[in-house]
């Protein structure tokens, strides 16, 4: 089907697959096979030599996974995509492919806890160093650039503080020095933000979150130029081997079909909850990108379509009060992860960011009272009722 001019709502459903390929099957078949047979020894030779297209072995490529990769590339506006067994498999495959010993990475001040862990590992074992940077100004980034700097790694909105980084500003500085810009787009999904269209080079996703959307699969995606994706496919993806299974790919394809519908509802609900949290006497501060009072609002207007489903807020009091608040909730589940149909809540200081040393954690803006809420698809009134009764019990 020619869908070059189609809109995102149509692309998520139709792109990358033609029902004519497999007996008219409406749903993409799950090719649950480890390997693919060759008709002759010569055909095997031709496939290995790259002279003939075709599948060889599912760690190298699989037809179900391929449909997902085609779709994700199109949604992010990139040339090619690769699917991985987890978000961290995608992040690590990209960073290992981009760096060699003595190279240097500049990373946003505030990243996913395990990305922080991976940067420590790269430094300790492979002498790939890094600096964290708030990236509020061009100057701040320029000051950290060295001849060995090969990559600027950005999360925006930053987990869990919801601070935003101006991607066009980062790209401007990076381009002056030929540095590759990698963006973790997990919190937005391509429906809300498309970094490649702003000039960034590689997008990574924890597809576990909004791409899957139903809390039933762990997966990762990387998207970028064909040349780089091919390089990653035949090096760090193939030889480290964190590939996605066909069934997991199918779950993501199923989840993706409703991405725009889900994202709009996540945003509707989160806007209403953020507004009420802001007005609550037991809340110290609320971080939500679409809040027009937020310091980063001008950046939000430049690069995001809507505010997304994540809110973080500080309760008045201590770490103990934050934990008590979580314990009072009934509908909302205490769990890490995000982007699911269920509303989830967690305490970053003791959960997702507990691996970050206290001093670095405070510098990232993650206090003991900070709570992260992933607003789900339930009726917003029910979500709010639950939060409100927990506040009432906290006040007692
Ligand atoms: C969850 C997450 C990751 C890691 O993804 P996994 O699928 O859990 O490996 C990376 N970045 C962000 C922003 C995340 O939320």
CATH number of 8-256: 3.40.640.10
CA of 206 to the centre of ligand 1 (A): 4
Rg of the chain over CA atoms, in angstroms? Answer: 22
- In terms of Cβ atoms closer than 10 Å to its own Cβ (0-12, 13-18, 19+), residue 24 is exposed
Counting atoms of ligand 1 from 1, which one is nearest the CA of 187? Answer: 13
Q: Does the CB atom of residue 206 touch ligand 1 within 6 A?
A: yes
Q: Does the CB atom of residue 336 touch ligand 1 within 6 A?
A: no
Which element (helix H / strand E) includes 222? Answer: strand 220-224
Phi-psi group of 308: left, alpha or beta (phi > 0 → left; psi -120 to 50 → alpha; rest → beta):
left
CB of 217 closer than 8 Å to CB of 245: no
Same topology for domains 8-256 and 260-395, yes or no? no
Strands lying side by side in the sheet with 202-206: 80-84, 220-224, 202-206, 180-184, 149-155, 104-108, 129-133
Counting atoms of ligand 1 from 1, which one is nearest the CA of 91? Answer: 10
Which segments of 57-127 does DSSP mark as H helices, in order? 63-76, 87-98, 113-126
CA distance 251 to 241: 20
CA distance 298 to 289: 10
Per-residue model confidence (pLDDT) at position 129: 98
Counting atoms of ligand 1 from 1, which one is nearest the CA of 89? Answer: 9
How far, rounded to the nearest angstrom, does the alpha carbon of residue 174 sit from its chain's CA centroid? 21
CB of 73 closer than 8 Å to CB of 81: yes
Counting atoms of ligand 1 from 1, which one is nearest the CA of 208? Answer: 7
Per-residue model confidence (pLDDT) at position 5: 83
Which residues in the chain land under pLDDT 70?
1-4
What residue spans define the domains of the chain?
8-256, 260-395
Of 142, 150, 155, 147, give the one whose Cα is nearest residue 122. Answer: 150
**Which residues, listed in sequence order, are joined to residue 151 by a DSSP beta bridge?**
105, 180
CB of 37 closer than 8 Å to CB of 44: no
CA of 347 to the centre of ligand 1 (A): 16
Cβ-based neighbours of 37, under 8 Å, separated by 6 or more? none
Per-residue model confidence (pLDDT) at position 110: 87
Which element (helix H / strand E) includes 175? Answer: helix 167-176
Q: Which of 95, 117, 208, 210 to mutate to test the pocket of ligand 1 (most atoms within 8 A of CB)?
A: 208
Cis ω on the peptide bond leading into residue 201 (within 30° of 0)?
A: no
CA of 214 to the centre of ligand 1 (A): 15
Q: Which of 95, 186, 251, 309 to mutate to test the pocket of ligand 1 (most atoms within 8 A of CB)?
A: 186
Q: Which SS3 state, helix, strand or coil, does residue 395 take?
A: helix
The number of beta carbons lying within 10 Å of the beta carbon of residue 259 is 23
Q: Atom 5 in ligand 1: which residue has the minimum CA distance? A: 87
Q: Does the CB atom of residue 159 touch ligand 1 within 6 A?
A: yes
Q: Which residues are catalytic?
A: 59, 112, 184, 209
Quick one: fold of 260-395? 3.90.1150
Backbone torsions φ then ψ of 310, nearest 5 degrees: -105, 135
Q: Atom 1 in ligand 1: which residue has the minimum CA distance? A: 206
Q: Does the CB atom of residue 193 touch ligand 1 within 6 A?
A: no
Cβ-based neighbours of 344, under 8 Å, separated by 6 or more? 332, 333, 334, 335, 336, 337, 338, 373, 374, 376
């Amino acid at each position: 089907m020619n869908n070059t001019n189609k809109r995102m709502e149509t692309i998520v459903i139709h792109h990358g697959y033609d029902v004519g390929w497999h007996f008219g099957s409406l749903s993409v078949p799950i090719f649950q096979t480890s390997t693919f047979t060759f008709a002759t020894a010569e055909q095997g030779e031709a496939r290995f030599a790259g002279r003939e297209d075709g599948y060889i072995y599912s760690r190298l490529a699989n037809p179900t996974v391929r449909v997902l990769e085609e779709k994700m590339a199109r949604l992010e506006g990139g040339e090619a995509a690769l699917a991985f067994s987890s978000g961290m498999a995608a992040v690590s495959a990209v960073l290992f492919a981009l760096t060699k010993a003595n190279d240097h990475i500049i990373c946003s001040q505030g990243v996913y806890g395990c990305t922080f862990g991976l940067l420590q590992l790269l430094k300790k074992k492979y002498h790939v160093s890094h600096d964290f940077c708030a990236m509020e100004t061009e100057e701040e980034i320029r000051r950290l650039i060295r001849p060995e700097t090969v990559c600027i790694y950005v999360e925006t909105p930053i987990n869990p503080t919801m601070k935003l980084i101006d991607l066009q500003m980062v790209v401007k500085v990076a381009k002056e020095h030929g540095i590759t810009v990698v963006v973790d787009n997990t919190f937005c999904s391509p429906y809300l933000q498309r970094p490649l269209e702003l000039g960034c080079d590689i997008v990574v996703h924890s597809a576990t979150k909004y791409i899957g959307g139903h809390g039933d699969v762990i997966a990762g995606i990387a998207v970028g130029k064909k040349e780089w994706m091919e390089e990653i496919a035949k090096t760090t993806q193939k030889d480290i081997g964190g590939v996605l299974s066909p069934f997991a790919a199918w779950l993501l394809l199923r989840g993706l079909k409703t991405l725009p519908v889900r994202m709009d509802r996540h945003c509707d609900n989160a806007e209403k909850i953020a507004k009420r949290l802001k007005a609550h006497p037991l809340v110290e501060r609320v971080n939500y990108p679409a809040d027009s009072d937020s310091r980063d609002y001008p950046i939000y207007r430049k690069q995001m379509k809507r505010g997304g489903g994540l809110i973080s807020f500080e309760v008045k009091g201590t770490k103990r009060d934050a934990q008590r608040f979580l314990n009072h909730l009934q509908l909302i589940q205490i769990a890490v992860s995000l982007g699911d149909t269920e509303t989830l809540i967690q305490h970053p200081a003791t959960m997702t960011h507990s691996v970050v040393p206290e001093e670095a954690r405070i510098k990232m803006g993650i206090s003991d009272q900070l709570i992260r809420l992933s607003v789900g698809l339930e009726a917003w009134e029910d979500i709010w009722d639950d939060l409100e009764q927990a506040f009432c019990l906290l006040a007692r």
